[in-house]
Structure 1
Amino acid sequence: MKASAFLYPWDVVGDPDAAGRIAELGVEQVTLASAYHSTRALTPRHPGRRIVTAEHAAVLYPPDPGRWEGRVLRPYRQTWVAGEDPYAEAAGILADAGLQVHSWVVLAHNSRLGAEHPDTSVVNAYGDRYPWAPCIARPDVRAYLVDLAAEAAARPGASGTELESCGWYGFAHLHAHDKVSGVALGDAAQYLMSLCFCTDCRTGYAGVDLDPDELRAGVRRALEPVWAGTGSSEQGWAGVEKLLGAGLADASLRWRVQVARGLQEAAVAAVRDAAPEPGFQVLLHADPAPYRTGANVGTDPAHILSTADGVVLPCTGGDAAREAVLGPYTGLPGVVAANFNVVTGMGGNPSTLARDAAHAASLGAGELRLYHAGLASGPDLSAVGDALSAIRGG
């Protein structure tokens, strides 16, 4: 199985040993961030630093002035890694070490965009805005994201890309000083809290014969038991239909699937148009349940594999969790990459990687993704190296 490790440019720039250390793991590829959201990250092996604070979503290369001149929505440049183009610098170093480089592009996840342009954000049924979640139904947001995908994906030296958050983002978000765990929201309630009621979405609901005011009232009514303390542990789409009613639920999803597919098709086409060669690979971080939101966007497996070259699927967890994610893609054409968290401190288990990868392969996964080689401890990286050696030997 071809294996790729996720990295940030700051893991490589300024560390002369980084590329060799990654190559020695046994991976063939690095998935290198070119556009990323805000984060605070450890750099446990870097000779010059231990913490990088990316204060806002930004591109890690110089954006093209001609593409963005005069536009209100445009990418922000980073200031926390030295150099004019840290992505290109890191990509060149990795390529010199014999590693293939694919870009890693985060799209609909940008807190600074929402803070500076509030009208771009998802608005929930209570009128609260989610500044981290751009509403992809807005024409200006979609145009911005499609152009960002094209520019950030087809960077010089990249032979492919992975698009993260290429769809709806919603309620769930790792926010600074988060205080939302006091009331448990099940999978179905998360969907209700992620429905958008901005002006564009309200118009869109009406276009699928759904009264937006009726939907808003239905969402608030369905969530009343949650706020009253009786909770809602409903899971899956059947849980959404139980809480909201099948008619409202299905109509809301029709609108959201229509919007998400439009963005995904446009983004993939724009990346291919911008790519330096026809074989440029375009993968999406995805989830097989179309109603899901977040970094791994909900998709219909058959549709997304007819649009992109493949998918990257979250596979950390037990056998049942992997089967639920990988099963819907089994037998379909396209690249299916199983993404494993290999950072023990973040819930990963690199000691079982060889066994888990074999299980993923039995379900149709043909590639591995390892999150995240820059964040992992020394023992975690050693375990990854051992697992990849065992996989190659097996």
Structure 2
Amino acid sequence: MRAGAFVYPWDVVGDPAAPGLLADLGLASVTLASAYHSTRASTPRHPAHRIVTAEHAAVLYPPDPARWSGRALRPYEAGEWAPGDAYGEAAGALADAGLAVHTWVVLAHNSRLGAERPETSVVNAYGDRYPWAPCIAQPDVRAYLVDHAAEAAVRPGAAGTELESCGWYGLAHLHAHDKTAGVPLGDRAQYLMSLCFCPSCRRGYEDGGVAPDALAAAVRGALEPVWAGGPVGEIGAFGEIGAFEEPVLAWRTRTARALQESAVAAVRAAAPPGFRVLLHADPVPYRCGANVGTDPGHVLAVADGVVTPAASVGPFGRAARPETVLAANFGVVTGMGGSPGTLAEDAERAAADGATELRLYHAGLASDADLASVAAALRALG
């Protein structure tokens, strides 16, 4: 299977050895960030730095002034962590090393947008805003994300794109000095804490026959035993909230599908023939986050394929067509919970579930020992 790895521009810019090192691993492609959220990242091999702090969500290239002139919502330019056209400089160096370059575009995850324009954020059932999570039900947010996707995806020389967070974002979020783990929240509680009650979402619930105030009260009531230290429970285990389950999920699913369909269409309209569009996706529709919840049959009819955690390949494999791209995503950074030493065996299992390609997270963050294990695994896989 063809293998690609995720990389940031700052892993490459200023390090002449980086493109050759990546090519020598046996990679066929690199998924290079062109629009990314705030982060603090290590650069274990870079000759000029060891820690890069990306202070806010930004595009890593100069945005088109004509596209964004006069618009209230527009992408932020990067600071010193990715000055000028950092994406373009890195992409050129990687292409010169023989690697196909795909853009990596983060969409509905932007803490600076939420801080400066709080009305754009998801609001939970308690009235708390999530500034990292733009609400995709809001028309202005959706229009911004669609145009942002087209510009950030279709960069010069790119062979395709991978759209992350192209759907609902919710409670789960790696955050500075996070203090939210005192009460464990299971899958179901995470979903309830991710339901949005901004004005657009409240209108959406009403259109589906659900009274938003009653829904919010039911969510708070369902979560009360959890905050008190009781069992988290499973799907369907929260009493009166069950009456709202189907119409709420149906409306959220329609909203996410509308964004995905519009974003993919906008990218394809801007892209040259043969440009591949993949979505980072989860096969469970109510999931939120970087890998957005989808229905496998629907998303594979919209996009050319998906990037999904290796354990989630199976449902997509059962819905795939012969030309579908199913990229199984593996963590290969041992310090972040990855298992590069078992990559070859794990990849074979993913292939049996239908995976056609591999994605490795993350070549820039990995240690030399991790990368040696990756190279050995890719040689073993042929």
> Scaled by the length of structure 1, what TM-score is found?
0.95
What residue ranges of structure 1 are gaps of 5+ in the alignment?
316-321
Q: For 2:258, which of 259, 262, 267 is the aligned residue?
A: 262
Q: For 2:332, which of 319, 342, 351 is the aligned residue?
A: 342
Distance in 2, matches of 1:267 and 1:244, equals: 36
Distance in 2, matches of 1:82 and 1:164, equals: 20
Aligned-CA RMSD value = 1.0
Alignment of 1:1-394 (within 5 A): 1-81=1-81, 83-232=83-232, 234-235=233-234, 239-240=235-236, 242-275=238-271, 277-315=272-310, 322=311, 325-331=312-318, 332-333=320-321, 334-392=324-382
Pair 38,220 (structure 1): closer, same or farther in 2 beyond 3 Å: same
Pair 227,353 (structure 1): closer, same or farther in 2 beyond 3 Å: same
Distance in 2, matches of 1:203 and 1:269, equals: 26
Distance in 1, matches of 2:79 and 2:214, equals: 46
Question: Do the aligned residues in 2 keep the contact of 1:34 with 1:61 (CA within 8 Å)?
Answer: yes
Distance in 2, matches of 1:229 and 1:350, equals: 37
Give the counterpart letter for 1:161 in structure 2: T
Q: Identical aligned pairs, as a percentage?
A: 69
1:298 shift after superposition: 0.1
Pair 243,77 (structure 1): closer, same or farther in 2 beyond 3 Å: farther
Question: Do the aligned residues in 2 keep the contact of 1:163 with 1:284 (CA within 8 Å)?
Answer: yes
Question: Do the aligned residues in 2 keep the contact of 1:268 with 1:282 (CA within 8 Å)?
Answer: yes
Pair 104,115 (structure 1): closer, same or farther in 2 beyond 3 Å: same
Question: Do the aligned residues in 1 keep the contact of 2:54 with 2:81 (CA within 8 Å)?
Answer: no
1:286 shift after superposition: 0.3
Give the counterpart letter for 2:275 in structure 1: F
1:244 shift after superposition: 5.0
Question: Do the aligned residues in 2 keep the contact of 1:25 with 1:388 (CA within 8 Å)?
Answer: yes
SS at match of 2:40: strand
1:83 shift after superposition: 4.3
Equivalent residue number for residue 318 of structure 1: none
1:326 shift after superposition: 1.6
Pair 313,226 (structure 1): closer, same or farther in 2 beyond 3 Å: same
Distance in 2, matches of 1:93 and 1:137, equals: 39
SS at match of 1:61: coil
Q: Deviations over 1:22-44 (max 9, x none)?
A: 00000000000000000000000
Pair 38,244 (structure 1): closer, same or farther in 2 beyond 3 Å: farther
Distance in 2, matches of 1:244 and 1:180, equals: 26
Question: Do the aligned residues in 1 keep the contact of 2:53 with 2:81 (CA within 8 Å)?
Answer: no
Distance in 2, matches of 1:83 and 1:111, equals: 20
Distance in 2, matches of 1:382 and 1:140, equals: 46
Question: Do the aligned residues in 2 keep the contact of 1:102 with 1:161 (CA within 8 Å)?
Answer: yes
Distance in 1, matches of 2:236 and 2:175, equals: 25
Would you say how many aligned residue pairs link Structure 1 and Structure 2?
379
Question: Do the aligned residues in 1 keep the contact of 2:108 with 2:134 (CA within 8 Å)?
Answer: yes
SS at match of 2:73: coil
Question: Do the aligned residues in 1 keep the contact of 2:222 with 2:238 (CA within 8 Å)?
Answer: no
SS at match of 1:330: helix
Give the counterpart letter for 1:88 in structure 2: G
Distance in 2, matches of 1:54 and 1:44, equals: 16
Give the counterpart letter for 2:336 in structure 1: M
Distance in 2, matches of 1:13 and 1:244, equals: 55
Question: Do the aligned residues in 2 keep the contact of 1:150 with 1:270 (CA within 8 Å)?
Answer: yes
Distance in 1, matches of 2:288 and 2:212, equals: 20
Distance in 2, matches of 1:314 and 1:80, equals: 32
SS at match of 1:101: strand
What residue ranges of structure 2 are gaps of 5+ in the alignment?
none
Distance in 2, matches of 1:278 and 1:17, equals: 32
Give the counterpart letter for 1:329 in structure 2: F
Distance in 2, matches of 1:221 and 1:51, equals: 44
Give the counterpart letter for 1:215 in structure 2: L
Question: Do the aligned residues in 2 keep the contact of 1:39 with 1:55 (CA within 8 Å)?
Answer: yes
Distance in 2, matches of 1:183 and 1:12, equals: 40
> Scaled by the length of structure 2, what TM-score is found?
0.98
